[in-house]
């Protein structure tokens, strides 16, 4: 899919999506992001995927996490560590 021609690149959306979902963006940045979503189906799809993940993980209980085997837990923890390192 070819990204739309606007002044808000898709990679900028990806950088800001979690802040957007947390309502932590300044108003002007939120406006630009939402304008981009109106013309970019790819980013809209990414946003919906984030929302689906949030809904699903919100239903997890600690017992679900505790039930993971080490082989199941390690890839999840590894992905989280990589994500955290990129954000710092």
The percent of residues above 70 in pLDDT, for the chain, comes to 91
State the Cα–Cα distance between residues 14 and 77, nearest whole angstrom.
21
pLDDT in tens, 7-33: 788 989 989 998 999 999 999 999 999
Task: With a cut of 70, say whether residue 4 has pLDDT above it.
Answer: no
Report helix angle 41-57 to 27-39, nearest 10: 110
pLDDT value for 60: 75
pLDDT in tens, 34-61: 999 999 999 999 999 989 888 887 777 7
- The residue assigned the tokens 């002044």 is 7
- Residue of 49, 46, 52 lying closest to 13 (CA atoms): 46
Contact 44, 37 (CB under 8 A): yes
């Amino acid at each position: 899919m070819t990204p739309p021609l606007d002044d808000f690149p898709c990679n900028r959306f990806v950088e800001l999506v979690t802040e957007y979902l947390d309502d932590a963006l300044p108003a002007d940045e939120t406006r630009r992001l939402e304008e981009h979503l109106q013309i970019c189906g790819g980013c809209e799809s990414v946003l919906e995927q984030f929302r689906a993940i949030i809904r699903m993980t919100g239903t997890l209980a600690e017992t679900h996490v505790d039930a993971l085997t080490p082989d199941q837990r390690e890839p999840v923890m590894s992905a989280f560590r990589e994500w955290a390192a990129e954000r710092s």
